Amino acid sequence: MTSRLYRDVGVVLRTYKLGESDRIIVFLTQDHGKVRAVAKGVRKTRSKFGGRLEPLSHVELQLHRGKDLDIVSQVESIDTTAAVFGDLDSMTEASSILEAVDQLVPDREPVPQMYRMLVGARQTLLTRPSPLVVPAFLWKLLTAEGLRPQLDQCVSCGESSDSEFVAFDFELGGVVCRSCRSGLAVSGPALVLMRDILGGRLGESLDRAFNPDGQQLNDPIINEVSQLATRAFEHHIERRLRSVSIFERHT
């Protein structure tokens, strides 16, 4: 008989109450995709899991496979998320990233690339937090889904002159020129930043956006790229991202 016990590593996407003392924990795991599991007694003061199953926690797991919900039997922290939970801006950004992954990934379907992306975004929030983290992550998620936006020529007529690009069309999935204008306006600097994010210069862009003295939430270019990323992602999943909307109002 095949053992129902299995081990994996994962990031907590969200939690919700079950009964008087349990919680259902939703993980994105490295090898098993999105897994929903019950952590028994985790809401009790003396729970053996302590604070290791909060959203964004990166953990080693042992689970017992169930029909609908698995059971968490062991949890060990890989590292701490204290830096994020101590900062309102970073916590809001973390919530946006976790919600986006939860909405996009189906249950029990291995998605190792998205797991690596989530772990990377989590590390960035811990070490180089900035308002660019969320939009960059959303654009990278869309690209991983095969929906890389067209940023180098008009998606309607094929015009390739940067000076002619004036908007982004979410239905067509890319920039449009003056003659074909539709969608949401896009500026030249925002277009440059989007190309950097998707063209191998993400690390440099995140370094520039990071301010060790605290997050700068009023950068108009980052805010523009964020609005475009949110609209594009919501168009793809056909629903609003609640946490991203809160983040945008906060900024």
pLDDT digits (tens, 9 = 90+) for 18-73: 999 999 999 999 999 999 999 999 988 777 786 889 999 999 999 999 988 999 99
Domain positions in the chain are: 5-80, 86-250
pLDDT at 1: 41
Paired with 58 in beta bridges are 11, 79
Specify the pTM: 0.93
pLDDT category, 3, cuts 50, 70, 90? confident
pLDDT digits (tens, 9 = 90+) for 72-129: 999 999 988 877 877 888 889 999 999 999 999 999 999 999 999 999 999 999 999 9
Residue 246 has pLDDT above 70, yes or no: no
Amino acid in position 112 = P
d(CA 62, CA 215): 37
pLDDT digits (tens, 9 = 90+) for 141-171: 999 999 999 999 999 999 999 999 999 999 9
Give the β-pairing of 165-169 and 70-79.
unpaired
Residue 134 has pLDDT above 90, yes or no: yes
Considering the four listed CATH numbers 1.20.1440.120, 1.10.3720.10, 3.40.50.2000, 3.30.470.20, the one that applies to the domain covering 86-250 is 1.20.1440.120
pLDDT category, 240, cuts 50, 70, 90? very high
d(CA 220, CA 137): 18
Contacts of 199 (CB under 8 A, 6+ apart): none
pLDDT at 248: 55
In the CATH scheme, what is the homologous superfamily, with its name and number, of domain 5-80?
Nucleic acid-binding proteins (2.40.50.140)
pLDDT category, 2, cuts 50, 70, 90? low
